[in-house]
């Protein structure tokens, strides 16, 4: 779970790749660098992430069977909400209990 600002969007094959500036990592099981690529396994624009906007993203790390691909994947059941101070407060409160 992290707060990020969308810098760019690009369609790559049957997927969408977002370049994201990681603002605040809240809870992560793998290291995040200041700029990451977040992949969405479709090209329909779901979820709709606008360039320049900030979001609270809950994504997972995807490593393929051969271990040749390691990326951050925002699945259909992932969480992508526009970032607000309220979202920040809710995530920080939840982190204390989890």
Q: What is the pLDDT of residue 50?
A: 92
Number of domains in the chain: 1
Q: Which CATH number fits the domain that encloses residue 58?
A: 2.40.50.120
Residue 13 lies in domain: 2-96
For residue 93, count CB atoms less than 10 angstroms from its CB and return exposed for 0-12, middle for 13-18, buried for 19 or more: exposed
Q: What is the pLDDT of residue 67?
A: 67
Q: What is the pLDDT of residue 48?
A: 82
pLDDT digits (tens), the chain, 98 positions? 889 999 999 999 999 999 999 998 887 677 888 999 999 988 887 888 999 999 999 888 887 777 667 888 998 777 888 988 888 788 778 767 66
Strands 35-40 and 54-58, by their bridges, are unpaired
Token pair 């200041």 is at which residue?
34
Q: What is the pLDDT of residue 46?
A: 80
């Amino acid at each position: 779970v992290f707060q990020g600002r969308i810098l760019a969007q690009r369609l790559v094959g049957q997927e969408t790749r977002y370049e994201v500036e990681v603002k605040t990592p809240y809870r992560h099981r793998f290291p995040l660098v200041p700029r990451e690529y977040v992949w969405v396994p479709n090209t329909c624009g779901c979820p709709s992430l606008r360039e320049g906007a900030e979001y609270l993203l809950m994504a997972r790390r995807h490593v393929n069977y051969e271990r040749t691909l390691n990326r951050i994947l925002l699945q259909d059941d992932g969480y992508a909400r526009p970032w607000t101070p309220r979202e920040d407060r809710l995530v920080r409160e939840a982190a204390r209990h989890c």
